[in-house]
Every structure is written in C-alpha cells, then in structure tokens.
Amino acid sequence: MDALIKSIRPNKSTDTKAPETRPAELDPAEFLAAAVRADQPRPSRAEAEQAVQTLLGYIGENPAREGLLDTPRRVVEAFDELYQGYHQCPAEVLDRTFGETAGYDDFVLIRDIEFTSQCEHHMMPFYGRAHIAYTPVERVVGLSKLARLTDIFARRLQTQEHLTAQIAAAIDEVLKPRGVAVVIEAEHTCMSVRGVAKHGAMTFTSRFTGMFRDNPAEQARFLSMVRGPNR
C-alpha cells in the first residue's frame, strides 16, 4: 500500500467528487534540511541525564545502586548516536552527482538496505530493509548516498509510513529523476515484544512517484527485482 501523507495545502475546491487518492506532497522543509536548528533551545546534557534518573525511579529502580550510577550518562550518549539524524541534512547527501552514465536510461535499484529506527509512539526500535530505485535523468548519485539518506531519516523518531515517504520525496526533489520507488519491510518491537507480542510480524510500506506510479509495468518490474528469485 502506498504511504499516504496528509497534504500541507488545504483543498479549497468546492467539488463534491471523491477525494484525490494520489499521495500528497510533503513540505520540502521537512526533508531537505537538518531537523535541529543551531539556535533551537534544547535541554542541557545534565538535564537529560536527570530525566533518565527520574525514569529509573519511576520503574521502581534505585538510581544510586552501583550498576546504575553511570546509566544516565550512557543513555544520553546512546541517544546522541541513535538520533543523530536530527542534525544531518538529507539534501547535502544527495548533492554530488556524476554524469558518466554512457547514456544509461533504465532505473537504478539498491536492495536490502538495512536500517534501525525508533517508533515515535513508544520510542521502541523497528528495523528491517529498504529497497530504493530511481530512474536518473543524465546524472546519477553515488550508491552509498541512498543508504546514507535512509540512515538520516531512520535515526529520528519515525513511523514506517513517514520514513518511506520522506526517502522518496527527498530523492524526487533533489535528483529530479523520472521516477522513484521505495519499499520498506520492517519488524516493530512495539508490536513484537509488548502489546500483542507477535514476533516475526512484518510491515510493508511503499511509495512510488513518476514513471513507477504511472506505469504499472515498471512498478511490477521493480517489485519483481526486489523480491528476486532467492527471497
């Protein structure tokens, strides 16, 4: 199912026809710049560590016992790593392209990009693979850049639907290709280790633009290559 994002532009039409089902555009400000501004007020590290101590006390632990004395510091350091995507700029990752394509006119697919992200609802991990394709116009981007782009968005609080849409929108906006296809498959620990506790349940989301959205044959070819004979 295509990940649908609520449009940022109000619909002023008085037409009573059925609403448009094509995915709406994201606000470019959301995916082209770092999410944290240099002048944005933030709690201090000491305040963040104190918050971890509060949570330890809330669950019934004794923050003063030996095994937990350094836990607040470790948790904040882990947060710095897990959420570094807030400080990185997606557009910069895609900024350098190459024109030596010898007239290549088919799509480029990178399959099985592993990632780990954090669910914005429970702050629990979800992890899986992203499959990304785009059809370039004259210039291509370095292959590792699509993996880096995935990591930038994944290292923020996310929903899988939003992650899928952000990756596709950034590629579409910066590279201006003839089309973008993104499929993400992931397991969510907020579903597998709590709540219904269904281990192994996988969630699939997709986003298609341009030729992949408008040409069913190209979309089918992309999906067949993602699934592959060995999957």
Concerning whether 162 is annotated as a catalytic residue, the answer is no
Q: Which of 119, 161, 166, 219 is catalytic?
A: 119
CA-based R_g, the chain, Å: 20
160 is catalytic: yes
Active-site choice (88, 118, 158, 160): 160
Indicate if 121 belongs to the active site: yes
- Of these residues, 92, 122, 185, 187, which one is catalytic? 122
* CA distances for 135 relative to 24, 108, 205, 211, angstroms: 21, 6, 20, 8
Q: How far is CA 177 from the centre of its chain?
A: 19
Q: Is 87 among the catalytic positions?
A: no
CA dihedral 223, 221, 133, 180 (to 10 degrees): -100
Q: How far is it, in rounded angstroms, from Cα 149 to Cα 196?
A: 32
Query: Which candidate in 47, 77, 114, 121 is catalytic?
Result: 121
120 is catalytic: yes
Which of 46, 99, 108 lies closest to 72 in space, CA to CA?
A: 46
Catalytic residue of the set 162, 188, 218, 219: 188
Examine the residue annotation and report whether 188 is marked as an active-site residue of this protein. yes
Q: CA–CA distance from 206 to each of 17, 43, 50, 52, 223 (Å)?
A: 26, 36, 40, 36, 10
Positions annotated as catalytic residues are 119-122, 160, 188, 190
